[in-house]
């Protein structure tokens, strides 16, 4: 408490904003689509995830500054998804909440938003997260049927209404199902990635190595209890359903390509992320807020950067935006890629990771595209995705950011104070989100 | 909780039939409610000679505005009878007990209490005194079997010079908290009890850890400790995390997912309690598993896993939890034994080994000089037939028999076990050490 003799330092506002602390996280195990969580809605999963986080940190009945989360595949009824989840959770009903959406970058963007508000002193604590279900996906009315019904709704007389309804056609019974397709190119994300992979000459074997490592690292992390305080079981699932601890390059080599064409196709179901259901959340706060509650500070959010590329004209690959975000972060922080102790590159596809790494190693790319004098250089693979990533865990789009922030914060904390980690998440629409964490 | 039998004998036809045939008719037991009086009705308090405990109990009850009487008036129904036989020295002295209690037995309200108070036979001076002190146990247990309609009888043995420590035990036995505790002997010895500021929150400001808190009895323990004012760290295996989170959020505590058999379990629990909540006052070792098989068919993994979770983990965790930087001085450790650990049970050699071991642990820990110096108490509950998800899976006939083979003619509830544990956890129970109290409705098994 402030007293007359010792004025509070915060009254003399310092120029540098405070850094937001990553206190911990929680997620439910990720399930393969149309399996264990088929009947769980986004709200169910986000609520369960919040409740697990609340229990871990003793926040039942407490109000946190803000809860920010989102979903990529979202029902129209879920317009207030995060707030509704808060109301269904054990948090105080006076906790404000809002939804965000930046495709697969949603979860990380939510964490950045919360961290920034904490840094500015607008809130002292917040929860960032995301949820997605490919099983309980929103199926919309056929567009023709929708237009016909809206026309009938606009009609003022019964005759006009009857006339409008004559527009009904049997083929309008076919519903509109969400597709994993870029609206401006009509190509699926996998097809886009296949083009980029071919361009960078990424081999099948290198992709399978990334995939096998992801499974092996994730399994090892489970075995050593790494997820004991990062995860809460849901609907009987205690581990990520997609995890195959015995995965190997040899086994993955037997799979047939699913993206790309001809004998050169390299992308299989094994080195591409499967459709998944799940949710994740991270608890952030000021150091003071954490200390008042005896809560640990695992890491601080140091910086963040987004980027977008022109993939529509084919100038750049759909998922290459993170490659462009990195130099800005490095310059601002006065760092080299090699300075990071741990690096998390979201495995949308194994080839995404490999193309990004290849781009940073390429003198030509770094010069022509990033405007750098020298290439960013090689990353020591032993620092990459050390506790597994999306290929093994799965990738419920908006949940991935929360998964990575919490896991990386814990892994950095284990390395010791000052250890720095980089997060890279690519997103639909040619976007990328990056953030830097530093162990407390 | 009503079984099929209990439901039947509550129906009009069943009631008539049961009465005619002299069959037991379970009643709904009086349980703790925040707004309910300590005892339901006037309390007859009497005793032999100067009866020091009776005097104490009278004061205690009067302070609670309980009506205290010296004899049964015509037409009154008593809530409880407390008889102080601490000065009994010869068999002839027992006549006081007969002449005091006998006239009250037809004037008791449902869920009434008979509490007999005596001295510990271990402190007896001479053969006759030792014999007569032990007689009290036989009398009390017999009264328990004679009582009907949810009434119970228990014996409190007070060591010489320990009269000041008896209050929390008397309160517990008279209250609804001891609903399913019947025919038990509770010893009150040395220790400096601290009266709580508010008897409605006897654990206020305390930090408790409960292992196996996700479901069943463990979840109920967490709820009762929190109700009594404690901050509860709820521990269970990571795979039970979903239910554990529900418990933790319900009681406003924290969830700690860990396997109690892990080498560092004690350290992690202690770190969590100290960093999050500032210390540790109460440890409830509740986590337990069953892997039943007849010994003839028992494999080594069933054998080892039960002993590992139910006994070895406690020994290992206690090294840290009871270390110098562990639980606070004056803290309380409560273990969970089982009726199987006392009576044995077919198909449960491994489980009985672990639960009998728990009793051995209570004996040793409660007499350990180092722990006694620090004022740490160690007690255990031994649940009988308790209605849980686990017993709901027991075959129908076995379950119905299990429910009925006790003086209260019904199964107990998880909350009954939890209430006894919360009583052991009170600083007011500092003089209650080394007890194994069965929460079994005076089960016939192992009695």
Residue B374 sits in the same domain as residue B296 = yes
Which pair of tokens denotes residue A301? 């959010």
Q: Which residues contact B385 (CB under 8 A, 6 or more apart)?
A: B339, B391, B402, B403, B405, B406, B411, B412, B440, B441, B443
User: For chain B, which residues score pLDDT lower than 50?
Assistant: 1
CATH number for position B411? 3.40.50.720
Task: Report pLDDT for B183.
Answer: 95
Q: How confident is the model at residue A136 (pLDDT cuts 50, 70, 90)?
A: confident
In this predicted model, which residue has the larger pLDDT, A127 or A183? A127
Is B197 a member of any domain? no
Residue A197 sits in the same domain as residue A160 = no
d(CA B42, CA B113): 11
Q: Distance from B259 to chain A by nearest Cα, in Å?
A: 9
Number of domains in chain B: 3
Q: How confident is the model at residue A163 (pLDDT cuts 50, 70, 90)?
A: confident
Q: How many CB atoms lie within 10 A of CB B300?
A: 7
Q: ∠B423-B41-B151 over CA atoms, to 5°? A: 60
Inter-chain CB proximity B244 and A295 less than 8 Å = no
pLDDT tens-digit series, residues A206-224: 999 999 999 999 999 999 9
Inter-chain CB proximity B241 and A232 less than 8 Å = yes
Strands A97-99 and A125-132: unpaired
Is residue A58 predicted with pLDDT exceeding 90? Answer: yes
- Tell me if residue B110 falls in helix, strand or coil: strand
Inter-chain CB proximity A234 and B277 less than 8 Å = no
B352-371: b or e for each residue (b if 16 or more CB lie within 10 Å)?
Answer: bbbbbbbbebbeebbeeeeb
Task: Report pLDDT for A5.
Answer: 42
Task: Report pLDDT for B2.
Answer: 53
* pLDDT average, residue stretch A230-240: 97
A346 is known as an active-site residue: no
The least confident of A162-176, A200-214, A332-346, B340-354 is A162-176
Let me know: does A409 contact A298? Beta carbons within 8 Å: yes
Tokens 């607008």 sit on residue: A122
Q: How many CB atoms lie within 10 A of CB B119?
A: 24
d(CA B375, CA B210): 20
Number of domains in chain A: 2
Is A184 a member of any domain? no
Is A9 a member of any domain? no
Q: CB-CB: which of A60, A233, A294 is closest to B275?
A: A294
Q: CB-CB: which of B249, B258, B278 is closest to A55?
A: B249
- Chain B contact for A413, CB < 8 A? no
Tokens 């003399």 sit on residue: A12
- Give contacts of B239 with chain A, Cβ < 8 Å: 233, 238
Residue A366 sits in the same domain as residue A322 = yes
Task: Report pLDDT for B446.
Answer: 66
Q: Quick one: what percent of chain A has pLDDT higher than 70?
A: 96
A395 is known as an active-site residue: yes
Query: Could you list the residue range(s) of the whole structural domain that residue B336 is in?
Result: 207-439
Q: What is the DSSP letter of B262?
A: S
Residue B161 sits in the same domain as residue B270 = no
B256-260, Cβ contacts within 8 angstroms, sequence gap of 24 or more: B256/A229, B256/B209, B257/A228, B257/A229, B257/A232, B258/A225, B258/A228, B260/B211, B260/B212, B260/B235, B260/B287, B260/B309, B260/B313, B260/B314, B260/B317
Which of B188, B221, B241 is the C-terminal boundary of a domain? Answer: B188
Q: ∠B217-B220-B222 over CA atoms, to 5°? A: 115
Q: CB-CB: which of A60, A228, A235 is closest to B258?
A: A228
- Tell me if residue A277 falls in helix, strand or coil: strand
Residue B21 sits in the same domain as residue B51 = no
Q: Distance from A70 to chain B by nearest Cα, in Å?
A: 22
Is residue A10 predicted with pLDDT exceeding 60? Answer: no
Q: Quick one: what percent of chain B has pLDDT higher than 70?
A: 96
A426 is known as an active-site residue: yes
Residue B375 sits in the same domain as residue B243 = yes
Q: CB-CB: which of A54, A227, A228 is closest to B249?
A: A54
Strand partners, B436: B380
Which pair of tokens denotes residue B310? 């139910």
CATH number for position A204? 3.40.47.10
Task: Report pLDDT for B73.
Answer: 82
Is B56 a member of any domain? yes
Let me know: does A406 contact A24? Beta carbons within 8 Å: yes
Is residue A364 predicted with pLDDT exceeding 50? Answer: yes
> How far is C-alpha A86 from the geometric centre of its chain's CA atoms?
20
Query: Could you list the residue range(s) of the whole structural domain that residue A164 is in?
Result: 143-173
Residue B382 Cα distances to B30, B221, B224, B286, B431, angstroms: 21, 14, 17, 11, 20
* pLDDT average, residue stretch A411-428: 97
- Give contacts of B251 with chain A, Cβ < 8 Å: 60
Q: Distance from A37 to chain B by nearest Cα, in Å?
A: 14
The least confident of A16-20, A279-283, B285-289, B387-391 is B387-391
- Chain B contact for A295, CB < 8 A? yes
Residue A169 sits in the same domain as residue A194 = no
* ipTM of this complex prediction, to 2 decimal places: 0.86
Inter-chain CB proximity B241 and A231 less than 8 Å = yes
């Amino acid at each position: 408490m402030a007293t007359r003799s010792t004025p509070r330092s915060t009254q003399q506002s310092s120029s540098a904003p405070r850094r937001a602390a990553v206190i911990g996280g929680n997620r439910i195990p990720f399930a393969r689509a149309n399996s264990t969580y088929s009947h769980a809605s986004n709200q169910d999963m986000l609520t369960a995830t919040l409740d697990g986080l609340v229990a871990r940190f003793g926040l039942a009945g407490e109000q946190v500054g803000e809860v920010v989360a989102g979903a990529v595949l979202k029902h129209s009824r879920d317009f207030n998804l995060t707030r509704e989840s808060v109301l269904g959770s054990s948090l105080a009903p006076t906790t404000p909440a809002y939804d965000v959406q930046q495709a697969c970058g949603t979860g990380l963007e939510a964490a950045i938003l919360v961290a920034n508000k904490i840094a500015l002193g607008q809130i002292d604590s917040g929860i960032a997260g995301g949820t997605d279900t490919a099983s309980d996906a929103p199926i919309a009315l056929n567009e023709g049927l929708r237009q016909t019904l809206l026309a009938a709704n606009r009609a003022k007389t019964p005759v006009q209404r009857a006339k409008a309804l004559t527009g009904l056609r049997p083929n309008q019974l076919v519903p509109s199902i969400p597709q994993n397709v870029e609206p401006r190119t009509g190509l699926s994300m996998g097809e886009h990635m296949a083009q980029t992979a071919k361009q960078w000459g990424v081999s099948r074997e290198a992709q399978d190595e990334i995939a096998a490592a992801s499974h092996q690292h994730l399994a090892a992390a489970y075995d050593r209890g790494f997820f004991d305080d990062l995860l809460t079981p849901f609907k009987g699932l205690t581990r990520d359903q997609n995890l195959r601890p015995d995965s190997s390059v040899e086994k993955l080599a037997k799979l047939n390509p699913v993206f790309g064409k001809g004998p050169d196709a390299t992308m299989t179901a094994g080195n591409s992320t499967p459709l998944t259901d799940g949710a994740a959340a991270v608890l952030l706060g000021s150091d003071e807020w954490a200390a008042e509650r005896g809560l640990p500070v695992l890491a601080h959010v140091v910086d963040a950067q987004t980027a977008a590329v022109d993939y529509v004209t084919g100038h750049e690959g759909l998922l290459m935006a993170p490659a462009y975000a990195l130099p800005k972060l490095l310059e601002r922080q006065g760092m080299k890629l090699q300075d990071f102790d741990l690096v998390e590159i979201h495995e949308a596809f194994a080839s995404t990771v490999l193309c990004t790494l290849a781009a940073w190693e390429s003198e030509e790319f770094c010069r022509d595209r990033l405007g750098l004098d020298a290439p960013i250089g090689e990353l020591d693979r032993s620092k990459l995705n050390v506790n597994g990533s999306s290929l093994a865990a799965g990738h419920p789009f908006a949940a991935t950011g929360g998964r990575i922030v919490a896991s990386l914060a814990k892994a950095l904390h284990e390395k010791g104070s000052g250890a720095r980690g980089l997060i890279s998440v690519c997103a639909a629409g040619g976007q990328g989100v990056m953030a830097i964490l530093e162990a407390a | 909780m009503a079984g099929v039998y209990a439901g039947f004998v509550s129906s009009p036809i069943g009631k008539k039939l049961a009465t005619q045939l002299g069959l037991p008719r379970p009643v709904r037991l009086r349980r703790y409610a925040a707004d309910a009086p300590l005892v339901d009705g006037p309390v007859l308090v009497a005793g032999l000679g100067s009866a020091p405990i009776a005097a104490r109990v009278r004061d205690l009850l009067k302070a609670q505005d309980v009506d205290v009487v010296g004899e049964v008036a015509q037409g009154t129904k008593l809530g409880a009878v407390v008889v102080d036989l601490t000065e009994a020295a010869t068999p002839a002295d027992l006549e006081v007990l007969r002449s005091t209690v006998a006239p009250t037995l037809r004037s008791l309200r449902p869920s009434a209490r008979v509490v007999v108070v005596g001295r510990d036979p271990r402190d007896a001076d001479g053969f006759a005194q030792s014999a007569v002190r032990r007689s009290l146990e036989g009398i009390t247990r017999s009264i328990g079997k004679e009582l009907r309609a949810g009434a119970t009888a228990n014996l409190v043995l007070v060591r010489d010079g320990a009269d000041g420590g008896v209050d929390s035990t008397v309160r517990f036995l008279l209250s609804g908290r001891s609903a399913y505790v019947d025919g038990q002997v509770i010893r009150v010895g040395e220790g400096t009890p601290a009266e709580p500021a508010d008897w409605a929150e006897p654990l206020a400001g305390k930090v408790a850890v409960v292992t196996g808190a996700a479901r069943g009895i463990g979840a109920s323990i967490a709820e009762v400790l929190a109700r009594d004012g404690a901050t509860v760290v709820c521990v269970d295996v990571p795979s039970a995390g979903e239910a554990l989170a529900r418990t933790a959020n319900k009681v406003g505590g924290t969830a700690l997912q860990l396997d109690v058999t892990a080498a560092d379990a004690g350290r992690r629990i202690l770190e969590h309690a100290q960093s999050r909540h500032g210390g540790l006052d109460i440890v409830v070792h509740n986590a337990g598993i069953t892997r039943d098989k007849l010994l003839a068919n028992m494999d080594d993994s069933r054998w080892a896993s039960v002993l590992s979770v139910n006994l070895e983990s406690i020994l290992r965790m206690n090294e840290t939890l009871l270390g110098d930087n562990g639980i606070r001085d004056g803290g309380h450790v409560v273990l969970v034994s089982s009726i199987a650990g006392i009576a044995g049970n077919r198909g449960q050699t491994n489980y009985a080994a672990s639960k009998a071991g728990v009793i051995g642990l209570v004996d040793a820990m409660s007499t350990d000089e180092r722990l006694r110096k620090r004022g740490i108490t160690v007690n255990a509950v031994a649940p009988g037939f308790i209605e849980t998800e686990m017993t709901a899976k027991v075959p129908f006939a076995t379950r119905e028999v299990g429910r009925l083979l006790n003086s209260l003619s019904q199964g107990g509830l998880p909350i009954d076990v939890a209430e006894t544990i919360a009583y052991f956890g009170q600083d007011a129970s500092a003089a209650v050490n080394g007890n194994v109290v069965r929460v079994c409705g005076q089960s016939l098994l192992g009695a």
